[in-house]
Chain A
Amino acid sequence: NAGVTQTPKFQVLKTGQSMTLQCAQDMNHNSMYWYRQDPGMGLRLIYYSASEGTTDKGEVPNGYNVSRLNKREFSLRLESAAPSQTSVYFCASSAGTSGGGTQYFGPGTRLLVL
């Protein structure tokens, strides 16, 4: 069991470039999430998907788009990267769609936008 995997591990972009962060889970979980983590600010939810075929905005969705490709995969796209999007991005998954769900996190993608 790999759990939650993310690619790439590290990426450098120039302002205005686009990229897609990939996430996959092999635990047959229903819900998947994208967070960003900045120093001193904790994890902030960007988008989430409660089930295959649905996506919803989180706390900081501006500048991002997501796709729940199937039950296993949930991708995050930056259409036109900005320096403010320099951060560490974590994908997570959980089994249920109601409260009390333990989340399992991937190893993160470190993104630097110049």
Chain B
Amino acid sequence: SQKIEQNSEALNIQEGKTATLTCNYTNYSPAYLQWYRQDPGRGPVFLLLIRENEKEKRKERLKVTFDTTLKQSLFHITASQPADSATYLCALDIYYKLSFGAGTTVTVRA
């Protein structure tokens, strides 16, 4: 079965710095990979989707890369703000089912 690993430890960064999160997977590569944000006590919210033939995708201060050779996706939050503090989940999109990683918790200090 597909195994998905995200940064095992929480990430604590200073406001204004760039946070970089990793998502590694085993076995077959998905056609799509998605990133979600989850705040405490709430459901995940979609952020970005990247296709297997796309190397990079951007949305405002967010950037995602997808390397199917390394079987890895990187998620960057640039110019981070305290409001970016949350847990970020990567999800492999295989047909219409998503397999989620356990998430990485990011805390941005003012």
Question: Does A pair with B?
Answer: yes
CB distance from A45 to the nearest CB of B (A): 6
**Number of A-B residue pairs with CB-CB distance less than 8 Å in the complex they form:** 66
Q: How many residues of A contact B (CB 8 A)?
A: 30
Least distance between A34 CB and chain B CB atoms (Å): 12
Q: Which residues of B contact A33 (CB under 8 A)?
A: 97-98
- Looking at A94, A101, A107, the one whose CB has the most chain B CB atoms below 10 A away is A101
Distance in angstroms from A95 CB to nearest chain B CB is 10
Taking the closest CB of chain A, its distance from the CB of B5, in whole angstroms, is 10
Interface 9-mer from B11-19, B69-77, B100-108: B100-108
Nearest A residue to B45 via CB reads A105
By the criterion CB–CB under 8 Å, are B94 and A90 in contact? Answer: no
Binary interface encoding of chain A residues 70-102 relative to chain B, with 1 for a CB under 8 A from any of its CBs, else 0: 000000000000000000001010101111111
A37 to B95, CA, bound (A): 21
Q: Interface residue tally of chain B, by bracket?
A: 20 to 34
For residue A21, CB closer than 8 A to chain B, the reply is: no
Contact yes or no, A99 B96, CB < 8 A: yes
Over the window 20-35 of chain B, the binary record of Cβ atoms lying under 8 Å from chain A Cβ atoms (1 yes, 0 no) is 0000000000111010
A16 to chain B, nearest CB (A): 28
- Which residues between 36 and 64 of chain A lie within 8 Å of chain B, taking CB atoms? 40-45, 48, 50, 58-59
Minimal beta-carbon separation of B28 from chain A (angstroms): 13
User: Which parts of A1-43 form the interface with B (CB within 8 Å)?
Assistant: 4, 31, 33, 35, 40-43
Query: Is A103 in the interface zone, CB < 8 Å from B?
Result: yes
| Contact (A101, B101) CB under 8 Å given A90-B43, A106-B43, A107-B42 | no
Could you give 10 example pairs across A and B, Cβ below 8 Å?
A: A42-B89, A43-B98, A44-B100, A45-B97, A45-B99, A59-B99, A99-B93, A100-B32, A100-B49, A108-B42
